[in-house]
Structure 1
Amino acid sequence: MMLETRFDGLVFENPLLPASGPLNGDFDKLRFLQDQGLGGIVTKTISTHEPKIPKPCIYGGKDIIQNSELWSEHSLDCWVNDFLPAFWKIKNRPLIVSVGYTQEDMAILIPALDPFA
């Protein structure tokens, strides 16, 4: 079965992509998701500063999981100088970089992350 999907100039081997969240919050997690055969990869949301994460931040029940994290616990510097360059070397499918949240944040984030998007 052919599952190739095209969207906004990107070609995905299949239409399965992870949502931005705890499962894609660093290089090892991005690599793991790629190895599972997803059509594309999405980063955890990156912002200009590290969040204050309440504990517990993830709660699961029998049929539910809730996540109260707002964005990545890692700094923009860590993403730009560590995680994304390492992933860029091995990536073999589209990468979508999730960013947030304000217009002022975008003025900093977009230029810094554009080389990886």
Structure 2
Amino acid sequence: SLPLTVVSLLGVDLIRPMLVDEGVVALFTLALELCRTPLYGVLVVVVVVVVVVVVMTVIIVVVVAVAVVIVVVVVVVVVVVVVVVDHKKITKNHIIHNAHKDTNYSTMIQHSCT
């Protein structure tokens, strides 16, 4: 009785770290139970693997999509800010330049009239 207890404890201690998640343990237990009828066991294992792969793929795709959207938004904002600032500078300089022209023109007219 004692050697069996030691072996079973050792067995549990060796197996438990391999089965990380309780959910995984439950799924494998269910699969093993259904494996008594082989077709169902195989189907359950296949379905579990497919679901895990699909979920992981969806998570990766969503993370990548969010990252791409963030990068695109940042680039667009930077471009818009740069274009608007440059446009305002150009317009401001243009207005100042025209004002100087007008002033020079009006002083020229005043000089010629006097």
User: Which TM-score band (shorter chain)?
Assistant: under 0.3
Larger RCO: 1 or 2 (CA < 8 Å, sep 6+): 1
Q: TM-score, normalised by structure 1?
A: 0.18
Larger Rg: 2
Greater share of residues in strand: 1
